[in-house]
Structure 1
Amino acid sequence: MLAIDNKLISDEVLEEQFVCDLNKCKGGCCEDGDAGAPMEKWELEKLKEYYEAIKPYMTEEGIREVERQGKYLFDKEFGWVTPTVNSGICAYGYRDQQGIIKCAIEQAYNDGKLDWKKPLSCHLFPIKIQKSKRDPDVEYLNYQPREDLCQAACALGKKLKVPVYVFLKDSLIRKYGEEFYEALCALAEHLHK
C-alpha cells in the first residue's frame, strides 16, 4: 500500500497494466455484478437534476425500472446504486449496434446535455474505492478487475504497456484533482527507479 494524504493506494494500481477492450468484453461490467453502479451522495442530485436529459438515451426497459424502483436505490452492501433491469444490466445502460453496452448518462454528456459524465465508480473501474470503517476520511483504492470479464483488458494493457493509473488518468483527476494525480505519477516514477 502507498499513501497520498488520506488515500491508501494498492501497489497494483501502479504496477498492473489495463486498457478496456470493449470489442471483447462488450461493456459487461455494466451488467455483471451484485447491484447497480455505486454512487456518491452528490451524484444522486445530479441524477435527479438531469434525468429528463438522460431519458431519451435509455431503453424502454431501463425507463420502466427507473419508474418502478426510482432513479437510484439503497443497497445494504453497496450503498446508493443505480437500478438494474432484472438484476442484470444497469437501467441506464443500452446496447449499441455491435452489442457493446454504453451508458445513457455518458452519451447525454458527450452530446452536451449535462456536465456530469457518469457515476465515478464506473469511470474509475477497475479501481474500487472503499472508505475505512475506522476513519471515514481514509479511502482505499484497490485494483479489482473482474477475473474472466477483464482478461482481454489486462492482456491489452500489457501489450500496450499502459499502467492502470495511466489508463484511468481522467477519472482519477476527476475524483481527486491534478495535484493528487501528479503525486501518484511521482510515486510510480520513484518505484520504477
Structure 2
Amino acid sequence: MIEHGNTLISTEIFDRHFVCNLDACKGACCVEGDNGAPLDEHELGLIEQDIEAIKPFMSEDGLALLKAHNFFERDEDGDLVTTCLPTGECVFATYDQNRVLGCGIENAFKAGKTTFKKPISCHLYPIRINKVGTYDALNYHKWEICKAA
C-alpha cells in the first residue's frame, strides 16, 4: 500500500496491466454484481442536471425504471449506487447492435449533450475507491468477468 496525502493506493494497481476487452465480456460489469455502479454524492447533482439530455440515450426499460423510481438508490451498506433493472442491467446501460453494453450517460457525453462523462466508479473500473477512516483507498477489484482483459 502506498500512502499519498489522504489516499491509500494498492500496489496491485501498478502491477496489473488491465485493458478492458469489451469483445470478450460484452460489458458484463454493467449488468453483473449485487448492486448498480457506486456513485459519489456530487455525481447525483451532475446526473440530475443532465438527466433530460441523457434520456434519449437510454433503453426503453431504463426509461421505464427511471419513471417508476430514481436513477440511484442506497445499497444494503447505505452506499449510493445506480438503480438496476430486474434483469440486472444498470438503469443507464444500453445494448449496441452486437449486444455489447454501453452507457447512456457516456453516449450523451460523446454526442455533446452533457458535460459529465460517466460515474468515476465506471471510468476507473477495475479500480475501486473505498473509504477507510479518513482515507480514500484505491484497490484493484478482481472479478471473473474481467478474466479476458
In which range does the TM-score fall when normalised by the shorter chain?
A: over 0.9
RMSD of aligned C-alpha atoms?
1.1
**TM-score normalised by the chain length of structure 2:** 0.96
Identity %: 40
Gaps of 5+ in 2: none
Larger radius of gyration: 1
- Return structure 1 stretches of 4+ with deviation > 2 angstroms: none
Structure with the higher helix share, 1 or 2: 1
Change (3 A) 1:60 1:35: same
Q: Which residue of 2 is the match for residue 12 of structure 1?
A: 12
Which of 119, 139, 143 is the aligned partner of 1:142?
A: 139
Q: How many residues align?
A: 149
Distance 1:89 1:44 in 2: 19
| Matched ranges for 1:13-162 at <5 A | 13-77=13-77, 79-86=79-86, 88-132=88-132, 134-135=133-134, 138-146=135-143, 148-153=144-149
**In 1, Cα distance between equivalents of 2:35 and 2:120:** 15
Q: Which has the higher strand share?
A: 2
Following TM superposition, by how much is the alpha carbon of 1:2 offset from its aligned partner in structure 2, in angstroms?
A: 0.8
How much does 1:71 deviate? 2.1
What is the rounded CA distance, in whole Å, between the counterparts of 1:30 and 1:22 in structure 2?
A: 11
TM-score, normalised by the number of residues in structure 1: 0.75
Point out where structure 1 has 5 or more consecutive residues left out of the alignment. Answer: 154-193
Instruction: Determine the C-alpha separation between the residues in 2 that align with 1:78 and 1:145.
Output: 23
